Structure 1
Amino acid sequence: MKKVFLLLTFMLSFLQIKADEGMWLMMLVKRLNGTDLQKQGLHLTPEEIYSVNHSSLKDGIVQFGGGCTAEVVSKEGLVFTNHHCGYDAIASLSTPEKNYLKDGFFAMNNKEELPAKGLSVRFLVRMDDVTARINAKLNNIMSADERNAIIAAEYKAIQKENSENGKYTVVVRDFFNGNEFYYFVYQDYKDVRLVGTPTESIGKYGGDTDNWEWPRHTGDFSVFRIYADANGNPAEYSLNNVPLKPKYYLPVSVKGVQPGDFTMIVGYPGRTNRYLTSFGINQLVTKDYVGWVDASKTAMDVMKKYMDKDTGTRLDYASQYASVANYWKNRAGTIESVNKNGTIADKQKVEAKFQEWANQPENKATYGNVLSEIEAYYKLIADRNLERNYASQFQRNAKYSVIPFRVGSALKSYTEQDAAGRAAMKGKLTSQIESTYDGFHPEVEKDMLQTMLALYKAKVPFDYQLPVLKYAVPTELANQTAGSIFATKESVLKFIDNPSKEALENDPLYRFSGVMVSEAMMFGDKYVKADDQFAKNTRLYLDGLRKANPDKAFYPDANSTMRLTTGKVDRLPIRKDRQYYGVKDNFYTDMTGMVAKYKKGDAEFDLPQRLLDLYKKKDFGAYKDKKGYMPVNFLSDNDITGGNSGSPIMNGKGELIGLAFDGNSEALSGDIVFEKQWQKTINLDVRFLLWVMDKYHGAGYLLKEMDIRK
C-alpha cells in the first residue's frame, strides 16, 4: 500500500482540535487551535483514530447505502445503523404476509439473515491532499471550460493511479468552493444482509410528529452484517460468502452518560453550506425551500391517500414517503429557524467585514466586486431556481414523468437491433425494467402525475415554465398513461416481445418525457455563463474570507466524506411550550416518557404490548441507568448533518455509547450556520438498543460477538 505522510501532521495537531462546531477531515486538524481534548476526556492516541498502515477507528466506520453511516460492532462483521437508514432495505424485504417493517425481525442464526439486494457499504482505506498538484495548473484568468477540463483530467489520472487496477474505488473532491482538492480511496462490500430491525412502533416511534423535535423517545436502529469471500475480499452475494472479519470494530459501553462527558462522532455528513452568503440564504427561504416544501407536501398527500387504503401500497411507498417527509419538515424548519435566529443579519455582518478587506488597494482588483456580482446573480436566477425546485419534486415523485425517457432510451436502442442484437440485450433490459417498476402502482402514479403537474403550472411563473409543461393539460396527460407502453411493467415487457420503433416514437408519455428532459437542458444552457461566473465568485469569496481572517480555523463544508466532530453530552434549555414527561435534567429521555406518549392504535405513538409489559415489570436487565431508569435517547452538542444518520457517538475511549439519528428544530438552519446555543445532536442510547435486541426481540446471542464494557 502506498504510504502517505498524514499521520505526523495529525499527531502534532490533534490535541489542539476545537470542540463542537466543525466537521473535520483528519488531514485538516493542523488548522485548529485552542482546545486540549485530552483535558476534556479523550483517551485515544491519534494513530488509534486514524492510521493508514495500521487498524484504527476509521476502519470500523462505513458509509452505508450511499446516504448514511454505520459502525462495525463485532468480530463477525455486524453493523449498527439507524432504522431509517435501513428502511428501504427492510421495506423491500417485507411482504403483507411477512411485514418486517411493521412487526420487526431478528435472525436467530446466520442462515436466517436476509440478503438486502442492492445494499452496499464503503470502507475508507486512505485519503490524501492533491491541492498543490491541481492548483499548479489553474489560474483565475482561464475560462470555466478550461478550468473544468484540467480538473477532470487530473481527477481521471489520480483515480487511475490509486485504484490498483479496479480493486479500489477512488473519489476526488473539491473543498472550500474549489480552492482545495483531496482524494479518497474506498473498498466497497456488496453482500450485506439484514440481521434485525425493531418493530416499527419502536424504530420509528413518534413518526413525522416527533421528527426533528426534542424530547424524542425513538429506538432508531437496525442491524446488518457484512459478508465477504473466503479471503475477506468484497464479493457479490453468494451462499459461499462468510461474515467479514473486520480490521477494527467498536467496543460498546453500557456505563451510561452524564452532562459534560466528552463525545466524538465520526461519519459521512452529506451536505452543508456554511459559507453561503446572505443573498443565497435569502433565496433559499423566500424561493427555493418554499417551492420544495409546497411540492413535497403535495406529493406526500397523494401517496398517503393510497397507502392508508392498502398494506402492499404502504410497503411499496414507505421509503419514498419517509424520505420526502423528512426533507419536507427539514426545509420548513430551516425557513423558520433562519427567520427566528437572525441568520441573514449575522451573515451580513461577516460580509461587511469582508468588503472592508476586499476594498483595500492590494485586494480590490481580485475581490472588490465579488459580493456585488453574487448579489446580482441571485436576482437573475430567483425564479429560475423556483422552477427547478417544483420541477425536481415533480420528476422525483411522478414516476411517469421520467420512466418513459429512461426506459425508452434503452427500448429505442433495442428496436434498432437485428434479431441477434435484441437477443443479446433482452436479459439486461428485462432486469432493468423489473427493477424500475419494482413497487410501482399505476393508480398512484397516474394521480401523482396529474397532481404534481397541476401544482407546477399553478406555482411557477408562466414565463419560467418549460414549454412542454406550460401547455400540457394535467387530466389529459394523466389519462394517456393507460394506453402507453410504459403504463405497467407488463406492458413494457410485452413491447419487448413485439418491438416497434414507430409505436415507441408515437407513445405520448415517451414523447412528453423526452421533450421535458430536452427542454430542461436547453433552459439550463441559458444560464451557463452566469453559473460559471457565480462559481468563480464563490471560490474567490471563500478564498478571500480565509485570507481576511488568518487566525480563524476554517473547516470545509460537508460533502459525503468521512468527518470527525467532537463535543460533549449537553442539555437544551427547558421550553415552556414543551412537555418533558417527567425528565427534569434535559439531556436524556427514558421509557417513562415513551410510555407516557403511548396512544393505542395511533400510527405514530402506538406501542407493542410486550414492551408495555416489560416496562410495567421494570424488566430492564443490565441496561438500566444506575439511577434506575431505562434510557432511550440523549443529547450532545456535536456538529452533524444528513448523512451522519447512523454514525457512532463515542466516549473518550472510543467506545460506542449511542447512534446519532437526528437534530433539533431550534437549529434547523444548521446546514447554513452553526447555532452554538441551540444546535444539538439527538442520539439513541446504546443501552436501549441492546435492551430491545436482548429483552424485547430475544436476540441476546448477538451480544456475544461484541466487546461490551461495563
Structure 2
Amino acid sequence: MKKMILSLIVGMMLLPMSVKADEGMWFLMFIERLNHRDMQKMGLQLTAEEIYSINHHSLKDAIVQFNGGCTAELISKDGLVLTNHHCGYDAIAELSSAEKNYLKDGYWAANRKAEMKPSSLFVRFFVRMDDCTKRILAQLNDKMTEQEREKAINAEIAKIEKENNEGGKYVVSVRPFFQGNEFYYFVYQDYKDVRLVGTPPESLGKYGGDTDNWEWPRHTADFSMFRVYADKNGNPADYSENNVPLAPKHYLPVNLGGVKENDFAMILGYPGRTNRWMPAAGIEQNVKYSYPAWVEGAKTGMDAMKKYMDQSADLRLKYASKYASTANYWKNRQGMIDALTKFGTAKSKAAQEAKFDKWANKAENKAKYGSAVTNINKFYGMTNEKARHDNYLQQLFRTTAFGTIGRTIGRQLDTYAKADAAKRAEMAPEILAGAEEMFKEVHIPAEKDLLAAQLKLYATKSTGYAIAPMVEKIGKENNNDFSKYASAAIDMSILTSVDKIKAFLDYPMQSVLDNDPIYTLSNDMVSHFSSKSDAIAKAQNEYGAGFRALVQGLRESKIASIQYPDANSTLRLTYGKVRALPADKRNDAKINNYTTMDGMVKKYKKGDEEFDMPTRVLDMNAKKDYGRFVDKDGSMHVNFLTDNDITGGNSGSPVLNGKGELIGLAFDGNIEAMAGDVIFDKNLQRTINVDIRYVLWVIENYSGAKHIVDEMTLVK
C-alpha cells in the first residue's frame, strides 16, 4: 500500500511548493493578519484575541512546553496537565522500581498527596513575544565574518533578555528566523514543581511499540497526566508540601462529541525542528551520508541495550527511556531516507535553486545574492564525509554512558582537583549528587558492550574522514575489536561508579585523572568531533552568509512561496481538518480517519511485548463497556487523523475544535509523509491523535479514577 501511494506522488513532488491552509507552523502574534480569515472559513469560531492576547487570558495560556522537549496543556482549574505517555516516560521510569513498576502497570493518584514529584521536571508558560529584527540587524554589517556577526548578535540579545526578564522573574529567549534574516524575543515563565498524577500501563500507553511507531492505523493510549504546583500566591516555587495546585489563567474544556471527516482542527504546540528552507545539497547530504550513519549507529546501540533489558525488570527500567528515544529516531531517520529518496525532494529543491541562481546573477541582484548557491554547494561538498563521521560518533555519544563524560563529570573533577580546599568543599556535594543521578541508569556490563560495539562501528565505517586519533590507535592495536579495551578501560576508570568518584573527591590527584583511560578517550573523541580544518571553517563562514542570502532572496523574488519560518521550539499554531487516508484493509473503521477498540483487539497477541494488552480491556471491549465515552456509532474510537502540519516537539499538543475545546492529543505522524520536516505533502501528510474520549475512558472506566475526570469541564 505504501509503495503504491508513494509512487503515485513522486512526480507531484517535483512541482513548486505552494502554501495551503493546512500547511505551516504559524506565530500566534500574526494569526489576525495571516490566517484568521482562512481559519474562519474552515470552522474557527474564536477571535484572534481569544487565541493570543497579552492583556487577557487566551488559548496560549493553557499551552505549555513540557520539560523542554514536548508540549502539554492545562485541562482543569487545578493545574491538571495532559501530555503524551512518551513525553512523561522519563519521569514515570524514574519514579518506578522493579517492585512498583508504574511504567509497566500504570498509576493513578487517589488524591493530591499521592501525586509524585520526579527529581527534575518543569513546564514553561508562554507570556508574550515581539519583533526585535530591526534592533539586532542595526548592529550588523556585510563586512562581518559569521563569527563577528554572531558575537554582535549575542551582545544585543543579552541586553534584550536583561530588559525583559524583570529581575529574573521570566526566561527570555531571542531566536533567529528565516536563517537569521529576522529575530523575535519570547518571554516565558517556568514552573518546576510538577508531579505525576497518572499514567496508563505501558501495554496501552505504548501499544504497538516500535512496529506501529510512525504507522497508521494506530491504537495507542499515548497520554499521561501531571499537575503543576505553585506557592500560595500562584508563583513558581521549588517543591514543597505547602505548595498548592496552580490556578491557570486559562484551561481547555473537553468536548465529548467526537469528530467526523472535514471537521476543523487546530493544534498549538512547540514543534522542535523543520528544514523547509534546507538547500538541495543539504538534503542530499542527509539522505546519503548523515541519516544512514544515524540509523546504523542507533540500531547498534538499541541491540546492545535490548540484550540486557530482556534480562530483568530492573535493567529494562534503567534503559527504557534511552532505548525508546533511540528507537523513535532510528525509525524516523530511516523513514526520512526512504521518503526523501522516493519523493525526489533534493531534485525538486535543486530545480528551485537553479531558477533562483539565474535571478540572483542578474546585474541588480548579483552583488547581494550571486554567490549564494555556489558557496552553499561548496560547503556541503566539503563536509559530506565529515557528516557521516559525525553521525556515527554522535550515536556513540547518545547511546553510551561514557562517551562524553570527559566534558561533564570529568571536567568537574578536573576543576575540583585544581581548586583550593574551600572551593572543593563547595563543589563536592553537587558532583556527588550528579554522579548518583547518572548511575541510576547505568549497568556496567551493558556499558562495556555498548562502548565496544559503537567504537567498532565508528572505527570501521567512518572511512572517508579521519577518526579520533586515540580510537584509531586502539583499533589498529586490536584489529578493531574493542571488547577487551572497553572492558578494561571501564574497570580501571575512576569515572565509572559513584564509589570511585567519591574516592577521588576524598583524595584528588590530577595525575590519576589525566591518565584515566575513559577520561582521555572521551576527551579525544569530543575534541575531534568539535574540530574542523581551516578550509572547512572558511567554507562554513561562506555557507552561513550564503544560506541567509538564499532564504532572503527566495522570499524577495517570490520563487519560494513559503510564508512561515522553520520550527525551532517556539510556540506555533497549525490548522487543518479531520481527514482520512485512502481506505486500508488493516483498519476496521468505516472511514479511514479513525480506529476503534475492536481493531485494537484484533492486533492483540498474548505475551507479545508490543501487542499484549490487559485482560480487563479485552473483557470490557467484549461487553462494549464504553460508558459515556462511546461514539454514536456504538464503538470506542481510539485514534484519529488530521492533516495538521506538525513535527517532533508537537508531541502532547492539544487538538482543538473551532471553539477551542479539546478533542484529542497529537502524538505521531505517518511514515508515508516522513519527508514532512523538509517538504509538506498536502495529500499524504497526517497527524495521528488520541481521541480525547479514549483518554477519558482509560482514566474513568478502565482505571477507576473518575475523580480525575471530574476535575475537567466536559462539553457534550
> What TM-score does the superposition give when structure 1 sets the normalisation length?
0.95
User: Cα distance, 1:596 vs. partner?
Assistant: 0.4
Q: What CA distance in whole angstroms lies between the structure 1 residues aligned with 2:251 and 2:29?
A: 22
Where in structure 2 are the equivalents of 1:16-95 lying within 5 Å? 19-29=21-31, 32=34, 36-95=38-97
Map of 1:8 onto structure 2: none
Where in structure 2 are the equivalents of 1:233-312 lying within 5 Å? 233-312=235-314
User: What SS does structure 1 have at the residue aligned with 2:238?
Assistant: coil
Q: What CA distance in whole angstroms lies between the structure 1 residues aligned with 2:355 and 2:528?
A: 42
Q: What CA distance in whole angstroms lies between the structure 1 residues aligned with 2:297 and 2:238?
A: 38
User: Cα distance, 1:526 vs. partner?
Assistant: 5.7
Where in structure 2 are the equivalents of 1:645-664 lying within 5 Å? 645-664=651-670
User: Cα distance, 1:79 vs. partner?
Assistant: 0.6
Greater Cα shift, 225-234 or 20-29: 20-29
Where in structure 2 are the equivalents of 1:496-535 lying within 5 Å? 496-523=505-532, 527-535=536-544
Equivalent residue letter for 1:288: S
Map of 2:615 onto structure 1: 609
1:489 to 484, 488, 498: 498
Are the equivalent residues in 2 in contact too, given 1:462–1:470 (CA < 8 A)?
A: no
Q: What CA distance in whole angstroms lies between the structure 1 residues aligned with 2:392 and 2:344?
A: 27
Equivalent residue letter for 2:137: N
2:194 to 178, 192, 197: 192
User: Cα distance, 1:80 vs. partner?
Assistant: 0.4
1:627 to 629, 633, 644: 633
Are the equivalent residues in 2 in contact too, given 1:89–1:119 (CA < 8 A)?
A: yes
User: What SS does structure 2 have at the residue aligned with 1:662?
Assistant: strand
Q: What CA distance in whole angstroms lies between the structure 1 residues aligned with 2:406 and 2:494?
A: 8
Greater Cα shift, 462-471 or 271-280: 462-471
Map of 1:207 onto structure 2: 209
Residues 332-381 of structure 1 show CA distances to partners (whole Å, capped at 9, x for unaligned) of 00011111222222222322321232132211222122112211211110
Map of 1:644 onto structure 2: 650
Where in structure 2 are the equivalents of 1:328-477 lying within 5 Å? 328-461=330-463, 463-473=465-475, 474-477=482-485
Equivalent residue letter for 2:621: Y
Q: 1:116 to 1:55 in 2, by over 3 A?
A: same
Are the equivalent residues in 1 in contact too, given 2:118–2:195 (CA < 8 A)?
A: yes
Q: 1:31 to 1:331 in 2, by over 3 A?
A: farther
Are the equivalent residues in 2 in contact too, given 1:131–1:180 (CA < 8 A)?
A: yes
User: What SS does structure 2 have at the residue aligned with 1:472?
Assistant: helix
Residues 441-479 of structure 1 show CA distances to partners (whole Å, capped at 9, x for unaligned) of 111111111110000011001642121222223234312
Residues 624-679 of structure 1 show CA distances to partners (whole Å, capped at 9, x for unaligned) of 11111100000000000000000000000000000000000100010000011110
Are the equivalent residues in 2 in contact too, given 1:19–1:35 (CA < 8 A)?
A: no
Are the equivalent residues in 2 in contact too, given 1:18–1:35 (CA < 8 A)?
A: no
Are the equivalent residues in 2 in contact too, given 1:18–1:33 (CA < 8 A)?
A: no
2:571 to 562, 566, 581: 562
Q: What CA distance in whole angstroms lies between the structure 2 residues aligned with 1:313 and 1:523?
A: 39
Residues 482-508 of structure 1 show CA distances to partners (whole Å, capped at 9, x for unaligned) of 121122122212222232222222222
Alignment partner of 1:96 is 2:98: yes
Equivalent residue letter for 1:38: Q
Q: What CA distance in whole angstroms lies between the structure 2 residues aligned with 1:449 and 1:550?
A: 48
User: Cα distance, 1:554 vs. partner?
Assistant: 1.1
Equivalent residue letter for 1:558: A
Q: What CA distance in whole angstroms lies between the structure 1 residues aligned with 2:498 and 2:555?
A: 54
User: What SS does structure 2 have at the residue aligned with 1:284?
Assistant: helix
Q: What CA distance in whole angstroms lies between the structure 2 residues aligned with 1:264 and 1:446?
A: 47
Q: What CA distance in whole angstroms lies between the structure 2 residues aligned with 1:435 and 1:100?
A: 19
Q: What CA distance in whole angstroms lies between the structure 2 residues aligned with 1:350 and 1:523?
A: 31
Q: What CA distance in whole angstroms lies between the structure 2 residues aligned with 1:227 and 1:363?
A: 56
Are the equivalent residues in 1 in contact too, given 2:36–2:48 (CA < 8 A)?
A: no
Q: What CA distance in whole angstroms lies between the structure 2 residues aligned with 1:331 and 1:371?
A: 26
Q: What CA distance in whole angstroms lies between the structure 1 residues aligned with 2:92 and 2:160?
A: 37
Residues 219-271 of structure 1 show CA distances to partners (whole Å, capped at 9, x for unaligned) of 00000000000110001111111100000000000000000000000000000
Map of 1:105 onto structure 2: 107
Equivalent residue letter for 2:579: D
Greater Cα shift, 423-432 or 620-629: 423-432
User: Cα distance, 1:517 vs. partner?
Assistant: 2.5
Residues 38-62 of structure 1 show CA distances to partners (whole Å, capped at 9, x for unaligned) of 2211000111100001110000000
Q: Which runs of 4+ in 1 moved over 6 A?
A: none
Are the equivalent residues in 1 in contact too, given 2:254–2:662 (CA < 8 A)?
A: yes
1:584 to 579, 587, 590: 590
User: What SS does structure 2 have at the residue aligned with 1:641?
Assistant: coil
Q: What CA distance in whole angstroms lies between the structure 1 residues aligned with 2:507 and 2:132?
A: 53
Q: What CA distance in whole angstroms lies between the structure 2 residues aligned with 1:615 and 1:81?
A: 25
Map of 1:702 onto structure 2: 708
Are the equivalent residues in 2 in contact too, given 1:18–1:34 (CA < 8 A)?
A: no
Where in structure 2 are the equivalents of 1:670-685 lying within 5 Å? 670-685=676-691
User: What SS does structure 1 have at the residue aligned with 2:600?
Assistant: helix
User: Cα distance, 1:277 vs. partner?
Assistant: 1.4
Residues 303-355 of structure 1 show CA distances to partners (whole Å, capped at 9, x for unaligned) of 00000011111001100000000000000000111112222222223223212
Are the equivalent residues in 1 in contact too, given 2:46–2:658 (CA < 8 A)?
A: yes
Equivalent residue letter for 2:656: M
Identity, in percent, stands at 55
Residues 525-550 of structure 1 show CA distances to partners (whole Å, capped at 9, x for unaligned) of 66222212111111000000001118
Q: What CA distance in whole angstroms lies between the structure 2 residues aligned with 1:303 and 1:33?
A: 46
User: What SS does structure 2 have at the residue aligned with 1:679?
Assistant: coil
Equivalent residue letter for 1:73: I
User: What SS does structure 1 have at the residue aligned with 2:675?
Assistant: coil
Map of 1:220 onto structure 2: 222
Are the equivalent residues in 1 in contact too, given 2:176–2:182 (CA < 8 A)?
A: yes
User: What SS does structure 2 have at the residue aligned with 1:183?
Assistant: strand
Gaps (5+ residues) in structure 2? 1-18, 476-481
User: What SS does structure 2 have at the residue aligned with 1:635?
Assistant: strand
Where in structure 2 are the equivalents of 1:151-166 lying within 5 Å? 151-166=153-168
Q: 1:524 to 1:387 in 2, by over 3 A?
A: farther
User: What SS does structure 2 have at the residue aligned with 1:705?
Assistant: coil
User: Cα distance, 1:29 vs. partner?
Assistant: 4.0
Equivalent residue letter for 2:519: Y
User: Cα distance, 1:140 vs. partner?
Assistant: 2.4
Equivalent residue letter for 2:586: Q
Equivalent residue letter for 1:95: S
Equivalent residue letter for 1:361: A
User: What SS does structure 1 have at the residue aligned with 2:46?
Assistant: coil
Equivalent residue letter for 1:66: G
Are the equivalent residues in 2 in contact too, given 1:291–1:386 (CA < 8 A)?
A: yes
Q: What CA distance in whole angstroms lies between the structure 2 residues aligned with 1:34 and 1:356?
A: 36
Are the equivalent residues in 1 in contact too, given 2:161–2:174 (CA < 8 A)?
A: yes
Residues 379-416 of structure 1 show CA distances to partners (whole Å, capped at 9, x for unaligned) of 11010111110111111112222224421221122223
1:600 to 602, 606, 609: 606
Greater Cα shift, 548-557 or 537-546: 548-557
Q: What CA distance in whole angstroms lies between the structure 2 residues aligned with 1:453 and 1:235?
A: 44
Are the equivalent residues in 2 in contact too, given 1:279–1:375 (CA < 8 A)?
A: yes
Q: What CA distance in whole angstroms lies between the structure 2 residues aligned with 1:524 and 1:654?
A: 53
Equivalent residue letter for 2:658: G
Q: RMSD over aligned Cα, in angstroms? A: 1.6
Equivalent residue letter for 2:507: N
Equivalent residue letter for 1:494: A
Are the equivalent residues in 2 in contact too, given 1:383–1:464 (CA < 8 A)?
A: no
Are the equivalent residues in 1 in contact too, given 2:494–2:500 (CA < 8 A)?
A: yes
